[in-house]
Amino acid sequence: MLLDIVSVFPDYFSILNLSLLGKAQADGLVEVRAHNLRDWTHDVHHSVDDTPVGGGAGMVMKPEIWASCLDELLGMPALTVDASAQAMANATADLASSFSSGYAPDYQPSSSPADDEKPVLIFPDPSAPLFTQAAAQELSRHHHLVFGCGRYEGIDARVGQYYAAQGVDVREYSLGDYVLNGGEVAVCVMIEAITRLIPGFMGNPDSIVDESYTGEPLLEHRQFTRPTTWRGLSVPPILTSGDHAKVDRFRRDEKLVRTNAVRPDLIEKLDTHSLDKADRKL
C-alpha cells in the first residue's frame, strides 16, 4: 500500500517509521511518503494560506497550491487555465451530487477490485463523519491512499469538491468531537488503524480477529498476565481453570457487561439474533 501524506509539517510522520509500521515499510508491505506542501509553492515566502473570503478569523489554505500537489500525486493531467476553469464550474454546479457521491456522511464507498486500484483522497476534518473501524477495514483494501492535512481554518472547500467532480474517491473523516491543531495527528491515527489490517502486517493475525469494534460491536474483555496474584490482586479464577468453554463464557459476559456500562450506544446496535440464551440473561 502506498501512503502519500501532504502537510506543512511532514516531520510529524517520522513516528510512522517506528514499531510495526516501520517493519512493514522495511518489508515493502507499506510505503509512506510524507510531502511538504510548500514544495509546490512558487513565491519567495512559500505561502500556502490566505484570509477567508467573507471575513472571519484565521487563514485558509489556498486551493491552487493543493491542486498542483494533488494533481501530481494523483497522477492527474495538469489542466490548462481554460480547462481548469471549466472543471471548477462543473464542480460548483455539481455541489449537491459531489456531496452525496463523494464525501457526505451517508457516502457508502464501493469496494470492487477495480476501485481498490484507484487512489483514495482523504481529508481529516473535525466537521466530517466519524472515522470508524469499518472505514479502516474498507480503506485497508485499497492500494493507494493520499492524505491532505489542513492547518489553520482548513483547506479551501473547493479542493475536495473539485477532485470529487473529477471522479476521484474523496473522503473526509473526523477523529472525534474535539478540535486538533491540524490534520497531522488524525492522519497518524488513521494510518495506524488502516495499515494494521493489511494481511501480513501483524506478526500474529489472530490479534486483530477478536478486537473491540470488529464484527459484533462489543468492547473487549479485560486481559491479565502472570503473576496470577500481584500486590494482593488475583486474576479471575475461571481464567486459570483450564476450562475453555467457561473462559469463553466469562469473557463474553465481560464484553456484554462492559459495553452496556461504558458504551450503551453500541448495545443498541447489537444484532439481537447474535445473542444466545446466556447473553440474554445478562
Q: Which of 22, 52, 109, 126 binds ligand ADE (CB under 6 A)?
A: 126
Residue 250: alpha-carbon gap to chain centroid: 33
Q: How far is the CB of 54 from ligand ADE (least distance, A)?
A: 21
Q: What is the CA radius of gyration of the chain?
A: 23
- Please provide the DSSP assignment of 186-239 as one string: HHHHHHHHHHTTSTTSSSSGGGGTT-TTSSSS-PPPP---S-SEETTEEPPGGG
- 179 is an annotated ligand-binding site residue: yes
- 115 is an annotated ligand-binding site residue: no
Say how far apart CA 35 and CA 146 lie, in whole Å. Answer: 11
- Using DSSP bridges, classify how beta strands 120-124 and 169-173 pair: parallel, antiparallel or unpaired: parallel
How many residues in total does the chain contain? 282
- 176 is an annotated ligand-binding site residue: yes
Buried b (16+ CB within 10 A) or exposed e, 11-34: ebbeebeeeebeebbeeeebebeb
212 binds ligand ADE (CB under 6 A): no
**Closer residue to ligand ADE (CB): 127 or 225:** 127
91 binds ligand ADE (CB under 6 A): no
63 binds ligand ADE (CB under 6 A): no
SS3 state at 6: strand
Side-chain half-sphere exposure of 245, counting CA atoms within 13 A: 1
186 binds ligand ADE (CB under 6 A): yes
**Closer residue to ligand ADE (CB): 54 or 178:** 178
- 53 is an annotated ligand-binding site residue: no
- 177 is an annotated ligand-binding site residue: yes
Number of residues that bind ligand ADE (CB under 6 A): 11
Q: How far is the CB of 186 from ligand ADE (least distance, A)?
A: 4
127 binds ligand ADE (CB under 6 A): no
Binding piece for ligand ADE, criterion CB under 6 A, among 62-70, 119-127, 132-140, 198-206:
119-127
> Applying CB under 6 A, which residues contact ligand ADE?
124-126, 174-176, 178-180, 183, 186
Which residues belong to the annotated binding site?
150, 175-180
